[in-house]
Structure 1
Amino acid sequence: MTEKQEPAHKRNMTRRKVVVAGGAAVAAVGAGGGLAVNAFAGETTTDASASSSATASETCYTLTSETTEGPYYIDADKIRQNITEGKEGIPMTLELKVIDADTCKPVKNAAVDIWHCTALGIYSGYEAMGSGGGGGGGGGTPPSGAPTDAPSGTPTGEPPSGGPSGGTGGGHSEPTDDERYLRGTWKTDKRGYVTFKTIFPGWYQGRAVHIHTKVHVDGTWTDAGYEGGHTCHTGQFFFDEKSVLASAEVSPYSTNTATRTTLTEDTIYPQNGHTGGLLYLKYDKKNIAKGVRAHLTMGVAPDETHDSTDTQPSTSASPSAS
């Protein structure tokens, strides 16, 4: 089906659904109507608005923002949940839930792709493009100081200048090698959940720390993997500044010398909180090296096609308090 062209903010308003949460589910509505779901029993979230509303009896689902695919997507050829392949970094469990933003029902048996760079900003399949600023190196000084909401500098967008390169916005670059670490595809269960084991991503010049994702529906799962169907969502997940600064104190992130772009400087992040892909995170604030648990619910439009987009988020979008 041809992708609808109405503005993202309009889709968010028209597709917002409110349902009564039943049983022992714990949920909260984030700022701007974004979804905040406590997917892990007994744990707290880093999001203040979510923790303060943990007893809310209603859950609001909002269509998750579409963002650019970027140049480093490789079609699903690794059907797996653990995508680490021995790469160094802070262990991370990423739990996602996919729901139909119109009906609020879970989207089961969907194929969810994720891919991201290493602690030093390298993408598998494109190692030859990762030298220079994006690759980091020994002896660098990690980011320091308190997070700031005041953007500075001029982000170069995706792909970044000086980091991994070789494509623009929504276009593909041809892989330069056969490596496929930190990439994988898995299917959602009957409740719409899918879980991946990976590491906390690093950074490269021009982009905030992020993970790419795609959601495919209406295809068929076979012994060879996932076939047919269409892509109903292309997006990215983002990390708050506190978590990134904490990771920068841990090896090998601490050796990454690339100039880091903050969340508010990033030209891809829509600046709309969890609706735009900002993850809920759980970790030991005194020792992030022990591991991170991240989760988010994505509201998608299964009947639409969103393979990628070259349209960047509006620069007038105001940063969300969430």
Structure 2
Amino acid sequence: MDRKKFLKNGMAGIGSIIAIPTLITSCNKDDDAGGVVDAGSCVVSPVETAGPFPIKTPADLVKENIIGDRTGIPLKIIIQVQNVNDNCKPLTGAFVDIWQCDAKGNYSEYSGQLDGDFTNQKFLRGRQTTDTSGNASFISIYPGWYPGRAPHLHLEILKSSGQSLLITQVAFPEDISKAVYATTNYKGDFDTSNAQDGIFSGDINRSIANSVTGNITDGYVLTETIKVSG
């Protein structure tokens, strides 16, 4: 989906999602990390665990809108994939798999969740293919949190052949998460900060999203660059 079209028209008909306004809040890696990140460095993005709830059948989830029946603050996710073996030029034709928890901290496709068994549900999981600019986008909701983890997204980048190039996670600016979690559908402030999260420990500067812009009324847009050895 075209980003300008999303910002202009919003996502009418999907829950309560409407257009992103002109006046927005924003946060980037320099703001949240407490130090300057060399965004221009051409090195592979942090390798992180797939977590206990990876996608089981990603080829069956080729879709841009991954919301399903979940509710929450709307989130447009724009991922650009770059190839460090080609001077970080955009990587075309790569699969981007994404998965995240819902507003209450539950993952689909698995039992033993905070609010029950979601084995037969497929919400908040999807796959898209990068375009000629190396971009893939998803329509989602701002993820909730669960005990022991800071708010995050899971990503896997794969070649069109299915070969995995990188599994990583993306963290969120804490001030924005606090604002989101004070709204209806969420369960209050997170219990684990980015600095306390064992997955992001020591590398939060490189793991936090490049940019998160928007507000709690109209939703947010997250952009992130993922660099792989393609």
Contact 1:247 / 1:289 at 8 angstroms: preserved in 2?
no
Contact 1:64 / 1:277 at 8 angstroms: preserved in 2?
no
- Alpha-carbon distance change, 43 to 187 in structure 1, aligned in 2, over 3 angstroms: farther
Q: How much has 1:49 moved relative to structure 2?
A: 3.6
2:221 aligned to 293, 300, 308, which one?
293
Residues of 2 paired with 1:264 and 1:105: CA distance?
A: 31
Q: What count of residue pairs does the alignment treat as equivalent?
A: 198
Residues of 1 paired with 2:220 and 2:149: CA distance?
A: 21
Residue 244, structure 1, aligned to residue 177, structure 2: yes
Q: How much has 1:85 moved relative to structure 2?
A: 1.0
Q: Residues 139-182 of structure 1: CA distance to partner in whole angstroms, max 9, x if unpaired? A: xxxxxxxxxxxxxxxxxxxxxxxxx9xxxxxxxxxx96210100
Structure 2 residue ranges without an equivalent (≥5): 1-22, 32-38
1:267 aligned to 187, 191, 198, which one?
198
Q: How much has 1:71 moved relative to structure 2?
A: 1.5
Number of the residue aligned with 2:94 = 110
Structure 1 runs of 4+ off > 4 angstroms? 42-45
Number of the residue aligned with 1:276 = 207
Number of the residue aligned with 2:66 = 83
Residues of 1 paired with 2:29 and 2:95: CA distance?
A: 31
Q: Within 5 Å, which residues of 2 pair with 1:2-151?
A: 45-47=26-28, 49=30, 59-73=40-54, 74-76=56-58, 77-103=60-86, 104-126=88-110, 128-131=111-114, 135=115
Residues of 2 paired with 1:234 and 1:266: CA distance?
A: 17
Code of the residue aligned with 1:96 in structure 2: it is I
Q: Based on CA coordinates, which of the two structures has the bigger radius of gyration? A: 1
Q: How much has 1:270 moved relative to structure 2?
A: 4.2
Contact 1:208 / 1:266 at 8 angstroms: preserved in 2?
yes
Residues of 2 paired with 1:64 and 1:86: CA distance?
A: 32
Q: Residues 97-156 of structure 1: CA distance to partner in whole angstroms, max 9, x if unpaired? A: 000013211111111000000100010112x3113xxx4xxxxxxxxxxxxxxxxxxxxx
| Corresponding residue SS for 1:244 | helix
Residues of 1 paired with 2:81 and 2:125: CA distance?
A: 19
- Alpha-carbon distance change, 207 to 273 in structure 1, aligned in 2, over 3 angstroms: closer
- Alpha-carbon distance change, 45 to 63 in structure 1, aligned in 2, over 3 angstroms: farther
Code of the residue aligned with 2:222 in structure 1: it is A
| Corresponding residue SS for 1:283 | strand
Code of the residue aligned with 1:281 in structure 2: it is V
Q: Residues 245-300 of structure 1: CA distance to partner in whole angstroms, max 9, x if unpaired? A: 001111111xx26962111110001443452243410013xxx2310100011110
Residue 179, structure 1, aligned to residue 110, structure 2: no
Q: How much has 1:81 moved relative to structure 2?
A: 0.5
Q: Equivalent pairs: percent with the same residue? A: 28
Number of the residue aligned with 1:204 = 146
1:188 aligned to 130, 134, 145, which one?
130
Task: Give the structure-2-normalised TM-score.
Answer: 0.78
Residues of 1 paired with 2:122 and 2:191: CA distance?
A: 24
Residues of 2 paired with 1:188 and 1:83: CA distance?
A: 16
Contact 2:47 / 2:166 at 8 angstroms: preserved in 1?
yes
| Corresponding residue SS for 2:127 | strand
Structure 1 residue ranges without an equivalent (≥5): 1-41, 51-57, 136-163, 165-174, 220-228, 303-322
Residues of 1 paired with 2:156 and 2:184: CA distance?
A: 29
Number of the residue aligned with 1:142 = none
Code of the residue aligned with 2:57 in structure 1: it is D
| Corresponding residue SS for 2:175 | helix
Number of the residue aligned with 1:235 = 168
Residues of 2 paired with 1:88 and 1:188: CA distance?
A: 27
Residues of 1 paired with 2:195 and 2:125: CA distance?
A: 26
Residues of 1 paired with 2:99 and 2:191: CA distance?
A: 19
Of stretches 185-194 and 60-69 in structure 1, the one that deviates more from structure 2 is 60-69
Contact 1:117 / 1:201 at 8 angstroms: preserved in 2?
yes
Code of the residue aligned with 2:51 in structure 1: it is G
